Every structure is written in C-alpha cells, then in structure tokens.
A and B are shown apart, each in its own frame.
Chain A
Amino acid sequence: MIAAAPLPYPFEFAFMQRALVAGVAVGVFAPMIGTFLVQKRMSLMGDGIGHIAWAGVGAGLVASVWPIWTALAFAVAGSLGIEWLRSRRKASGDLALALFFYSGIAAGVVLVSLAGGMNTKALTYLFGQPLTVADHEVVAIVAMGAAIVVAMLVLRRLLFAVVTDEDWSRVAGLPVGLANSVLAVIVAVAVVAAMQIVGILLIAAMMVLPVASAQLVARSFQGTMRWAVAIGVASVIAGLALSRVWNLAPGGTIVLLTAAVFVVVAVATRRVPHGVPLSAPSGQVEPVREEVAEP
C-alpha cells in the first residue's frame, strides 16, 4: 500500500488519492473516445459494450478470476462483434448495439446469480466505487488509460476522417475497417478501465456528456476534444470532492456534474445541441469562443 501524499482535505487520505489518480485517468480518456463516438453517431456504444463487460464480470466471479480480465475479453469480443454486424450491414448501428446490449445484460444476470448473487463486488462494477480501488487496480486503470491515449494520438487523424465520412474515406483508400475495429477495441478497453470508477451503467455518460458540452463552446474537432477532456477531468475532481464532503455515491456524483456542466453551458451559450441558435438574434449573445490551435 502506497503512503498518502500530503494533499489537503478532501484528498488527504490514500484511498481518496487512489480514487483521484484513477478518476482523472478516466476523465481524460473517456471524453477523448466520446468525441469520435458522437461524431460517428454511435454515442451509446459505450453503454452497449458496458453491458457486455457486465457479462464478463459475471464470468470472472463464477470462475474466480480477476473480473477485469474476463470483462476485457468479453468487451473486446463484443465490440468487434458490434462493428462486424454494423459494417456488414446485417443490422443498423443501434440494432447491432441492442442485440449485444440485452444479450450481455442477460448473460451477466445469469452468471452473477451463479456466482452467488449480487454481492458488494458485483455492485461495485455496476455502479462504480472509486473509493475502494486498490493500488494494483489503479495501476491497471492508468496503464489501460495510457495505452488508449497513445493509440488515440497516433490514430486521431485517421479516426477523424473515418468517423466524419466513412464512404469517402473508403474511396480515398484509407483503411476504414482497421480504423473502425481499432476504435471498437479502444472503447472496450476504456469501458473496462472505467467501470470501477463510474460503474458499467454510467460509463457511456462519461464518454458522451462532456462532449455534449464541449461541442457547444468549441469551434473545431480538436478543440471539442480538448474541452471535453477538461470538462471530464474537472467533473471527476469536483465529483470525488463533493461525494466525500456530502457522503454521496461518487460515480453518480461525477456524472451528474457532467450533466450540470451541459445545462450551464447550454444556457450560457443559448444554443441547443447541433449548433442551432435558440431565439436570440445573432450578435446579441456572443457564444464562448476559444482559439483553435494548429491541428
């Protein structure tokens, strides 16, 4: 057990610091991936894969294996399955998700009951409990997060081209199948890395809600990603602090904060998603602008 660093309240204890490190990692990688998923109009992919990961957690509990491994195996297989169904047009994107979503949750329910029912460990994965993550789990989350961030940075321009216009990318000779498969695997790894922090039921929210706010203030794809990460990290830090101060469920608190940020940003910019102005005549309300750096 690593000794606590000298941080002020509410992060003075080692368990809060472990939650902080793992949580900030999630706050960085989940919105990064979410930016691509929202552009691809597959916002709920994280949710679908989360439910498959839930079946993996059940399998791990039955087999007495560290559920992170089994969840990772199920999530990666499931994400590639969703992508296969979608790309072969055997099912539309949301129908492909639904097939896996419900099969995953059903398998999870059966497997978890086989393992002795809903114990505390199973609930931890379902609803998230960052305050109980152990050192080795923090290491696993940060390592998976680092792998995701490196992969995204290397692939960001290819992924941008493909999620923006898949048909054109194919004609242009870009490796569309590779890009989609890699994105699916990245989502799967992210879901497993984030499930102990925000919980399987709220993973997709961590990917998508910061992006919903970011696209209202940013004026570029890169800018949207940077804003989404900033909102994600800020929500994790504030959510952990508030959950400690008021004894709230941390996973839920973090996600509620990302939703609150959206409400504030939407009111402040007087725009609804899709960039359509509400009622104010142009020029009356100046939306928040940021300088776009060279991509």
Chain B
Amino acid sequence: MAVREERAGAGVEWTADLLAADGITFAYDHDPVLDDVSISVAPGEFVALVGPNGSGKSTLLKVVLGALEPAAGRVRVFGEDPANLRHPWRVGYVPQRPSMGSEVPATVEEIVAAGRLARSGWWRPRTSSDREAVHHALESVGLEGLARKPVNQLSGGQQQRAFIARAFASEPSLLILDEPIAGVDAESQRRFRDALVHLVNEHGAGVLLVSHELSAVAQDLDRVIVLKQRVLFDGPPADLTAGGVSLGVHREDLPLWLEGLG
C-alpha cells in the first residue's frame, strides 16, 4: 500500500505510489459519477479496476490521465499533476478502442514505433536504442513475426496486442489499460498476460487494468478495486473470491456479480 513521507524542509508531499488519487469527486451536470474515490498503484503492483457499466470507471481513468478535472480531491502521478507531467511517456496508455483510421495501411512496427516518439523526442532521428525498445515491445506481445504486416490485416486480438506494444515501447513506469482484452482470442489473452507480468516483475512497473475479463490474469493480480461510484472493495483477490466471487474458473461470474451490485 501507499508509503508516504514528508520531504524534509521542502513541504512537498512525496509519495512512493506511482498513482495516488485521493477523495476524487466528479459529476456530469449535477449527476454524480464519482464520490470520494481513492485509489493507488505502487511500483511493481498489478491492480485491476472493475465495476458494473456506468460505475464511473471511464470517468476515473480520464481524471487519472489528466483529461478531466475533478470537482474535489487530488490526483498525483509520480507525485505530479497528471495534466502537466514532466515526462508523460512514463505513463503507458492502452485505449479501449483505438481511434486509429484504417484508410492508409500502417505496419505494426510503424504503430509501435510511434509509442517511442515522446520519450526519444519526435524531432530526433531514431537511434539503435529506439529500435531495440520497439523490437522488445513487439517480442513481449509476441508480434515480432508480424512487424511488417499492415495493422488493418490483423485479427482483433493481434491489433490490440499491437496497441499494447505501442504503450510498452516507451518503457513506461505506469501502464493504464482500458478494457484491453474484451472479445480477444485465448492466444492473445495468454500473450497479453505474459507481457503484463513481465512488465511488473522484470521492470517494476505498476499496472492499472480496467477489465471485466480477469480470468487470464486472476493468479497474478495483487489487488482488485471494485468501483460503483464509490470504492466498494480494495484488496487482494483472495478476499474477493472468499466472498464467493470467482475471477477465474467461471469466466462470467465476475461480470454477473458486478451487475448484481447495481
């Protein structure tokens, strides 16, 4: 959990959490969506955020990414305001449905290399370390053999892995994924799980995974956060499954249980 210290003399709160959202409240036109929500992700921690439809997950992600200003509460990413990060590339983001156009063919490698731009500088020529990082990102999602294939000729699961590799290419310290494996084939789910575990275990990154499909990663999660306008549960998955909710064996259990909350 969060480790907090006061930096001596500076009066600046220093936090060991990669992500710390405290007391977040948000409403769309007086329609409350988030009510005093606090979540955190520490280095090397693999956290899943679940909740029924309309529970405020997407809004919370927007607040965490600095795209929305909360009415109350405060978000810190690496101890900074998420809307003004010094190194935004330290946050890897995998959107729910990439808004990528498919008019012009773009290769997997071209897409993944774009993920490296903010880190290495878009005005600089690509270096050998950029190429290595892109290759490593492709390997980690098992797409190295398809690097030169147009993305729009891949399956849905392969495309999603390409967008995960794009987030990996900047070697992020914090990875945020918005429903990345909805409707993805079993092979892609396995690759996806291996890639996330590698990022957490080998690179000490923190992962915040928003998903209903936790069966592939059930054994690897450090914490599960259940959100429905407020945080209903925040703890190890074992505590959730002890209450009779299955994350793994019966894949439909968790979504059914979540909808039962509503």
Residues of chain A touching chain B, judged by Cβ–Cβ distance below 8 Å, are: 35, 38-41, 154-155, 157-158, 160-161, 163-175, 211, 215, 218-224, 273-275, 292, 295
Chain B interface secondary structure, helix, strand, loop or mixed? Answer: loop
Asked if A168 contacts B152 (CB within 8 A), the reply is no
| Apart from A220-B107, A275-B152, 13 more pairs, CB < 8 Å | A39-B101, A154-B123, A168-B99, A169-B114, A171-B91, A171-B93, A173-B87, A173-B88, A174-B117, A215-B103, A220-B106, A223-B105, A275-B105
Any A CB within 8 A of the CB of B204: no
Minimum-distance CB pairs A-B, first 3: A173-B88, A161-B114, A158-B122
B104 (CB) vs chain A CBs: closest residue: A39
Asked if A168 contacts B113 (CB within 8 A), the reply is no
Q: Which residues of B128-163 have CB atoms within 8 Å of chain A's CB atoms?
A: 148-150, 152-153
CA A222 to CA B95, docked complex, whole Å:
25
Asked if B93 contacts A168 (CB within 8 A), the reply is yes
Asked if B150 contacts A164 (CB within 8 A), the reply is no
B103 (CB) vs chain A CBs: closest residue: A38
For residue B185, give the distance in angstroms from its CB to the closest CB of chain A: 20
27 contacts between A and B (CB under 8 A): A38-B104, A39-B103, A39-B104, A39-B106, A158-B122, A161-B114, A161-B117, A163-B101, A164-B111, A165-B95, A168-B93, A168-B99, A170-B67, A171-B65, A171-B67, A172-B89, A172-B170, A173-B88, A173-B89, A174-B118, A174-B122, A215-B103, A219-B105, A220-B105, A221-B110, A223-B105, A295-B113
CA A170 to CA B65, docked complex, whole Å:
10
Asked if A167 contacts B118 (CB within 8 A), the reply is no
Which of A164, A166, A172 is close to B106, meaning CB atoms less than 8 Å apart?
A: A164
Asked if A41 contacts B110 (CB within 8 A), the reply is no
Asked if A292 contacts B100 (CB within 8 A), the reply is no
Interface centre among A40, A168, A224 (most CB of B within 10 A): A168
CA A171 to CA B93, docked complex, whole Å:
7
CA A166 to CA B100, docked complex, whole Å:
8
A173 (CB) vs chain B CBs: closest residue: B88
Which of A173, A215, A292 is close to B148, meaning CB atoms less than 8 Å apart?
A: A292
Any A CB within 8 A of the CB of B115: yes
Any A CB within 8 A of the CB of B85: yes
For residue A39, give the distance in angstroms from its CB to the closest CB of chain B: 5
Asked if A295 contacts B88 (CB within 8 A), the reply is no
Asked if A164 contacts B109 (CB within 8 A), the reply is no
Asked if A222 contacts B110 (CB within 8 A), the reply is yes
One digit per residue, 1 when the CB lies within 8 angstroms of any chain A CB and 0 when it does not, for chain B 164-196 equals 001000100000000000000000000000000
Which of B93, B101, B102 is close to A275, meaning CB atoms less than 8 Å apart?
A: B102
Asked if A157 contacts B114 (CB within 8 A), the reply is yes
CA A48 to CA B109, docked complex, whole Å:
33
CB contacts (< 8 Å) of A161 on chain B: these are 114, 117, 122
CA A43 to CA B117, docked complex, whole Å:
25
Asked if A165 contacts B100 (CB within 8 A), the reply is yes
CA A41 to CA B104, docked complex, whole Å:
10
CA A22 to CA B147, docked complex, whole Å:
38
Asked if B95 contacts A41 (CB within 8 A), the reply is no
* Contacts A171-B93, A172-B118; A221 near B106 (Cβ below 8 A): yes
Any A CB within 8 A of the CB of B262: no
Asked if B101 contacts A41 (CB within 8 A), the reply is yes
CA A154 to CA B98, docked complex, whole Å:
26
